[in-house]
């Protein structure tokens, strides 16, 4: 049931597995981020890639309710989807577009990031034909080595945009590659200085406001001087610190209160009593060393619970941790509940999130997988039924 957003508790069919999205936590995170940077700094809510698995349109709608007026998407089709869902405000397309998307950009009032002369010319022509104006943000590469023009090219591109009909430069942006690495802080400061120099040159030559923005989650948390006119929180919006060490980050910035928005849950479908010496799952990579109770869970790598979690991960049952034993299958995972109080078929199992006083975070799962929390959230959210919670009520 990939990418499904349920609108009520009543479903003709259901999955054993579900991802829960806490709307209250999402809104609180946005408000806390806005409070941290102050009312003079805009906050772009980054909802690209299905809001990191949390559901793009649902999250954008709820964020709008608490003051979000700028949204960041990766591609034009995402911006179109938000408009068709009734989302207002500015929608900035961070990857820009292609000639095939000119009409959609204009018709749906999207703001593309630009870095290509041919694209800029074509967009200008389409906007002029439609008797309207296209707003764009110009991307400068100050060290990411990804999208963007070189600082030395900025004047050329700005002159072109000012010269063309039906075009308006409304923003200038860049991106940090290592703002989440403490040993690279000096590099980040040099990149910020380079970008601010470009911004200063632009503001000295252009009439009208141009929004400057470079700060991702790591930068706005670690470097207040990067806030400029707008910040672009992504992972922090969904309750995680970008350096994958939330406790340390919270000590460094005690004013930041981020709450994980996503939980991933399943249930026990069978309990097996096994003698010592029994192999479990494919390859018998786990063999019981004692008389054991094993719970079978109806979740596996088809649901984003990757095979690499075999014999490595833990889950929560009745507020206690239970280790995964044996290989994770396509649709099944086994956990050892021998040391837990009685467990029954049908009991809730938390793969990601809180249960009682215990918690398994996306950072912890990422460590088991050798990746980052971003990927964990995208995996779970994109491959499972999503249910939205607000004040203990499910909502779409």
Count other C-beta atoms under 10 Å from residue 331's C-beta.
Answer: 15
- Asked which of 47-61, 107-121, 230-244, 328-342 is least confident by mean pLDDT, the reply is 230-244
Nearest by Cα to 284 from 269, 274, 270, 298: 274
pLDDT at 208: 67
pLDDT(5) > 60:
no
pLDDT(244) > 50:
no
190 labelled catalytic:
no
Count other C-beta atoms under 10 Å from residue 208's C-beta.
Answer: 7
pLDDT(8) > 90:
no
> How far apart (Å, rounded) are the C-alpha atoms in residues 351 and 316?
7
CB 298 within 8 A of CB 331: yes
Span 76-81, mean pLDDT? 98
Two tokens at 211?
């929004």
CB 347 within 8 A of CB 317: yes
Domain residue ranges in the chain: 23-239, 262-360
394 labelled catalytic:
no
pLDDT at 13: 61
CA-based Rg of the chain, rounded to a whole angstrom? 24
pLDDT at 155: 93
What band does 392 get if pLDDT is binned at 50, 70 and 90?
A: low
Active-site annotation holder among 42, 48, 139, 265? 48
pLDDT(161) > 70:
yes
pLDDT(168) > 70:
yes
pLDDT at 252: 47
Two tokens at 259?
């709450």
Span 381-388, mean pLDDT? 95
User: How do residues 284-340 score in pLDDT, each as one tens digit?
Assistant: 999 999 999 999 999 999 999 999 999 999 999 999 999 999 999 999 999 999 999
pLDDT at 185: 83
Q: What percent of the chain has pLDDT over 90?
A: 83
User: How do residues 343-359 score in pLDDT, each as one tens digit?
Assistant: 999 999 999 999 999 99
User: How do residues 120-135 score in pLDDT, each as one tens digit?
Assistant: 999 999 999 999 999 9
pTM of the entire predicted model: 0.92
CATH number of 262-360: 2.40.37.10
CB 220 within 8 A of CB 233: yes
CATH number of 23-239: 3.20.20.10
pLDDT(165) > 50:
yes
Nearest by Cα to 77 from 110, 116, 113: 110
Two tokens at 220?
């706005």
Active-site annotation holder among 162, 272, 282, 291? 282
pLDDT at 255: 59
User: How do residues 81-129 score in pLDDT, each as one tens digit?
Assistant: 999 999 999 999 999 999 999 999 999 999 999 999 999 999 999 999 9
pLDDT at 206: 62
* Mean pLDDT estimate for the chain: 91
């Amino acid at each position: 049931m990939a990418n499904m957003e349920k609108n009520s508790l009543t479903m003709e069919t259901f999955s054993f597995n579900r991802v829960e999205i806490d709307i209250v936590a999402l809104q609180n995170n946005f408000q806390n981020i806005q409070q941290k940077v102050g009312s003079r700094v805009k906050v772009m809510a980054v909802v690209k890639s299905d809001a990191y698995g949390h559901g793009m349109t649902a999250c954008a709608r709820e964020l709008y309710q608490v003051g979000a007026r700028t949204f960041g998407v990766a591609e034009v089709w995402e911006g179109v989807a938000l408009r068709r869902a009734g989302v207002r405000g500015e929608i900035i397309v961070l990857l820009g577009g292609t000639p095939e998307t000119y009409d959609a950009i204009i018709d749906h009032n999207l703001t593309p990031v630009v870095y290509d002369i041919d694209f800029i010319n074509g967009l200008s022509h389409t906007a002029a034909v439609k008797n309207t104006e296209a707003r764009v943000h110009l991307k400068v590469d100050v060290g990411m080595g990804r999208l963007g023009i070189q600082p030395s090219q900025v004047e050329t591109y700005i002159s072109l945009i000012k010269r063309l009909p039906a075009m308006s430069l409304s923003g200038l942006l860049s991106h940090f590659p290592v703002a989440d690495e403490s040993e690279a802080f000096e590099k980040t400061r040099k990149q910020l200085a380079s970008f601010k120099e470009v911004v200063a040159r632009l503001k000295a030559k252009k009439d009208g406001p141009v929004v400057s923005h470079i700060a991702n989650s790591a930068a706005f948390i670690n470097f207040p001087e990067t806030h400029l006119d707008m910040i672009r929180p992504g992972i922090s919006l969904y309750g995680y610190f970008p350096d994958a060490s939330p406790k340390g980050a919270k000590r460094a910035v005690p004013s930041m209160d981020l709450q994980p928005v996503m939980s991933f849950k399943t249930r026990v479908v069978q309990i097996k009593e096994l003698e010592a010496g029994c192999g479990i799952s494919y390859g018998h990579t786990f063999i019981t060393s004692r008389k054991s109770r094993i719970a079978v869970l109806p979740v596996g790598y088809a649901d984003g619970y990757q095979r690499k979690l075999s014999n490595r991960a833990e889950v929560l049952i009745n507020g206690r941790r239970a280790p995964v034993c044996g290989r994770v299958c396509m649709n099944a995972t086994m956990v050892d509940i021998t040391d837990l109080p009685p467990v029954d078929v049908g009991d809730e199992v938390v793969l990601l999130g809180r249960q009682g006083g215990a918690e398994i975070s996306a950072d912890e799962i990422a460590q088991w997988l050798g990746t980052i929390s971003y990927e964990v959230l995208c995996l779970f959210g994109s491959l499972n039924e999503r249910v939205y919670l607000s004040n203990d009520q499910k909502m779409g």
